[in-house]
């Protein structure tokens, strides 16, 4: 986990509304900027966050669209930890087809999880598959 | 040309429909769907569409935007048209590389380069 000596942290329940999602994203990225994360790092974090939130609503809450998801984050000088949890039935992350295979390239969906795994230092799902914890480590640490 | 609801700036240059995004962030699904529908209508209106999409004003996008681009590309290809992308920021270009979509799309450094490449 992270050093609690110098951190920004919060727990949020987000509805599927653009303003709420952007507010959460802005809070995380604002903290990241204050702690010295580069533009490239903030791009990565923002992309992974947006993909995780989209997946939670689109897949996790497709049957319960008015239900909020829970987002937790801790931003420190060493790393940024974000958890996104939905109330859906979950899924098996390893069952998602590889979108970079030739036969999948022209499919319009299925790239979100791959992008999260590429841009974040660590990505962990709980056993049910409805809670994602991802960590971005400050480069060089 | 753009309607009051449009998120795009659309011009015609050398018989090519040039599309620019007015949003710096192509992020949420609803926004992307609206953009995709609008570009899709442009494709529908042409017998053999020749389209250039410029990312000059785009700082950020998500996989939903990539999906919309693929749908547009498939639609253009279905009408034996031509689609080219241009002015992609290096960090966004990296997203195309990571997802291997650089092999699916014709991507150019600039709008001028893309326009020269149209048959």
Distances (CA, A) of B113 to A15, A45, B46: 43, 32, 23
Using CA coordinates, name the residue in chain B closest to A106.
Answer: B70
The span from the first CA to the last CA of chain B, in angstroms, equals 24
Q: What is the DSSP letter of A16?
A: S
Chain A stretch 59-98, residues whose beta carbon is closer than 8 A to a beta carbon of chain B: none
Q: Is some CB atom of chain A closer than 8 A to the CB atom of B28?
A: yes
Chain B stretch 53-112, residues whose beta carbon is closer than 8 A to a beta carbon of chain A: 60, 62-64, 66-68, 70-71, 73-74, 91, 95, 98-101, 103-104
Residue A53: closest CA among A79, A2, A14, A23:
A14
Superfamily classification of domain B8-117: STAS domain (3.30.750.24)
Torsion sign across C-alpha atoms A20, A22, A23, A28: positive
Fold of A8-137: Heat Shock Protein 90 (3.30.565)
Q: Could you state, in order of their start, the residue ranges of all structural domains in chain B?
A: 8-117
Residues on chain A touching B34 (C-beta within 8 angstroms): none
pLDDT per residue, tens digit, chain A (141 aa), is 444 468 999 999 999 999 999 999 999 999 999 999 999 999 999 999 999 999 999 988 998 989 999 999 999 999 999 999 999 999 999 999 999 999 999 999 999 999 999 999 999 999 999 999 999 999 987
pTM for this entry: 0.92
Residue A18: closest CA among B29, B23, B34:
B29
Nearest 5°: CA angle at B57, between B52 and B60? 105
Q: Quote the ipTM score.
A: 0.91
């Amino acid at each position: 986990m992270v050093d609690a000596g110098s951190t920004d942290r919060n727990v949020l329940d987000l509805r599927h509304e653009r303003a709420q999602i952007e507010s959460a994203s802005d809070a995380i990225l604002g903290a990241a900027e204050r702690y010295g994360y580069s533009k490239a790092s903030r791009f990565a974090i923002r992309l992974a966050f947006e993909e995780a939130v989209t997946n939670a609503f689109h897949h996790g809450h497709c049957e319960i669209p008015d239900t909020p998801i829970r987002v937790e984050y801790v931003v420190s000088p060493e790393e940024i930890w974000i958890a996104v949890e939905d109330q859906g039935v979950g899924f098996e992350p390893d069952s998602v087809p590889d979108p970079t295979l030739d036969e999948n390239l022209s499919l319009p969906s299925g790239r979100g999880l791959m992008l999260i795994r590429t841009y974040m230092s660590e990505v962990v799902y709980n056993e049910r598959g409805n809670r994602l914890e991802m960590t971005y480590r400050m480069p060089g640490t | 040309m753009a309607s009051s609801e449009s998120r795009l700036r659309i011009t015609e240059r050398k018989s090519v429909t040039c599309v620019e995004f007015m949003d710096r962030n192509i992020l949420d699904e609803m926004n992307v769907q609206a953009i995709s529908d609008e570009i899709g209508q442009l494709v529908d209106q042409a017998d053999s569409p020749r389209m250039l999409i410029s990312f000059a004003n785009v700082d950020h996008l998500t996989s939903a935007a990539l999906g919309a681009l693929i749908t547009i590309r498939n639609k253009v290809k279905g009408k034996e048209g031509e689609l080219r992308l241009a002015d992609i920021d290096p960090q966004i270009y990296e997203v195309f590389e990571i997802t291997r979509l650089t092999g699916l799309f014709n991507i150019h450094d600039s709008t001028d380069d893309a326009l020269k490449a149209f048959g």
